Structure 1
Amino acid sequence: MDTPSQRWARLEPHTTVVGPDDDRPRPAVLLFHGCGGLRDHLPRYAEAARAAGWRAFTVDSYAPRGWNRPFALATVCTGLLLRGSERAGDILATLHGVSQRPDVDASKVVLAGWSHGGWGIMEAMSADRSRPGLGVADPGAVDLDGVLGTYLAYPYIGVAALNRMRPWRHCPKTLAVIARSDHLTTVRNAERVHAMIRNCGAEVETWVADGSHSFDEPTSAPPMKFDEALTAEALRRFAALLGDVAVAPAA
């Protein structure tokens, strides 16, 4: 099993970095895609972060594994491979690697995940990291103290997410986006899960968006439907979360 450093060495060549053109230590947001892989909407969030003075790191979890989109749709989206607890290894490894960069303020980090990516973040926040697991060796070696916020976009909290009601051990400010017409969960289930997160002491804001799962991803795959107006609002709320948890240096 990879150490966090070894996993980051595999992920880093497939991570896109966007931010102000300087070498100043800046807050960082780490973006983790859904089970369908990198799609056109994540660069819009990365650009919103750059405009706010942050550095954004968009991680491709599939390229290092040699997986393409059809393979991921058939295996990850169906729960056969890379469940949330294993995906958490990518999240911890990326946090570990990015925190070593001189152009990043490691005390000011936000984790952002869409669907499967949000599942992985929730596993990373709730797991006992003193025990082996989470897809990497020695997950406890990764310091979570600098994680000030999480952005959970319609995270997967269905039947395969066995730990969805497990209390978080690290409790940053959280914006949880719930899709009212999500075919993978009910609003009631999502609100119950996010209320559990709130019970650990985290400040949790929930937004019930009147759209489908992946409403911000340009797609024509029913029952998912792209909604530009909701996407604009999601981008606004995402940027507001960044501004709430940390003030970036002026460009």
Structure 2
Amino acid sequence: MKSVAERWAWLAPHVVVVGPEDDRPRPAVLLFHGCGGMRDHLPRYAQAATAAGWRAFIVDSYAPRGWARAFTLATVCTGLALRGYERAGDLLAAIHGVSARPDVDGSTLALAGWSHGGWAMMEMMSGDPRPGAFGVADPASVDLSGVKAAWLAYPYIGPFAFNRMKPWRHCPKVLALTARRDHLTTVRNAEVVNAMIRNCGAEVESWVAEGTHAFDEPTNNGPMRHDPALTEESLRRFQAFLTDAAPNI
């Protein structure tokens, strides 16, 4: 089993870094894709973060594992492989690695997760960091105090998300995006989960977007439909959320 530092060394070559072209320590947002992997909407969110003065790090959980999209659609998206509590080790490793960079202000980090990425975020926030948890040897070695904000974009909170109602051990400011026509959850279910997060002491802003799951991804797949106008609104809210989290950049 890898340590957090070893997991980061394994992930780092596949991380896409976007941000202002300088070397000053800036706030950083870590972006975690959904079960479909790296898709074209994530660089747009990274550019929105750059416009807010942040650095953005898009973390690819599949390339280090050698997994192609067809494989992940058949396994991760169906819950057969890499469930959220297993992927949470990638998040801990990314927090560890990114916060140590000289061009990052490790005291001001944000996490952003879409669908499966949001599930992994919630598992990391709520899980017991005992040795071996989340698939890493030393999860408790990662300090979460620098995580000031969490963007949860239509996170998976279905039957496999066993800990969705478990209180978080670290409670940053949250923007919880729920899709009105999400085929994986109801708005009511999402609001119950959001209330749990709020009750643990987090400031939670809820946004019910009038679209489907993955409305901001520029593809149409099954019940999911891309909505360009709603995507623009989501990008605007994402940038505003980061600006509010670090207004004095």
Pairwise TM-score range, normalised by the shorter structure: over 0.9
Q: Could you report, residue by residue, the CA deviation over 1:150-202 in whole angstroms, capped at 9, with x for unpaired residues?
A: 00000000001011000111000000000000000011000000110000010
Distance 1:248 1:68 in 2: 41
2:74 equivalent in structure 1? 74
- Residues 212-227 of structure 1 mapped to structure 2, 5 A cutoff: 212-227=212-227
Give the letter aligned to residue 53 of structure 1: G
1:96 equivalent in structure 2? 96
Q: Could you report, residue by residue, the CA deviation over 1:75-122 in whole angstroms, capped at 9, with x for unpaired residues?
A: 000001100001100000000000110000000000000000000000
Q: Deviation of residue 134 (structure 1)? A: 1.0
- Residues 120-139 of structure 1 mapped to structure 2, 5 A cutoff: 120-139=120-139
2:34 equivalent in structure 1? 34
1:199 equivalent in structure 2? 199
1:140 equivalent in structure 2? 140
Q: CA RMSD in A?
A: 0.8
Q: Deviation of residue 130 (structure 1)? A: 3.6
Distance 1:106 1:21 in 2: 18
Asked if residue 13 in structure 1 is aligned to residue 13 in structure 2, the reply is: yes
Distance 2:167 2:97 in 1: 26
Distance 1:165 1:104 in 2: 32
Distance 1:177 1:196 in 2: 15
Give the letter aligned to residue 147 of structure 2: V
CA contact (8 A) 1:18 1:57 kept: yes
Give the letter aligned to residue 54 of structure 1: W
2:45 equivalent in structure 1? 45
TM-score by length of 1: 0.98
Distance 1:71 1:50 in 2: 32
1:188 equivalent in structure 2? 188
TM-score by length of 2: 0.98
CA contact (8 A) 2:131 2:137 kept: no
Q: Could you report, residue by residue, the CA deviation over 1:44-91 in whole angstroms, capped at 9, with x for unpaired residues?
A: 000000111100000110000000000000000000110000110000
Q: Deviation of residue 132 (structure 1)? A: 3.0
Distance 2:34 2:145 in 1: 25
2:208 equivalent in structure 1? 208
SS in 1 for 2:211: coil
Report sequence identity in percent: 71
Distance 2:148 2:220 in 1: 35
SS in 1 for 2:28: strand
Give the letter aligned to residue 208 of structure 2: V
Q: Deviation of residue 248 (structure 1)? A: 5.5
Structure 2 residues not aligned, in runs of 5+: none
Aligned length, in residue pairs? 249
Q: Deviation of residue 131 (structure 1)? A: 4.5
Distance 1:51 1:240 in 2: 10
- Residues 49-68 of structure 1 mapped to structure 2, 5 A cutoff: 49-68=49-68
Shift in alpha-carbon separation, 1:180–1:229, aligned structure 2, 3 A: same
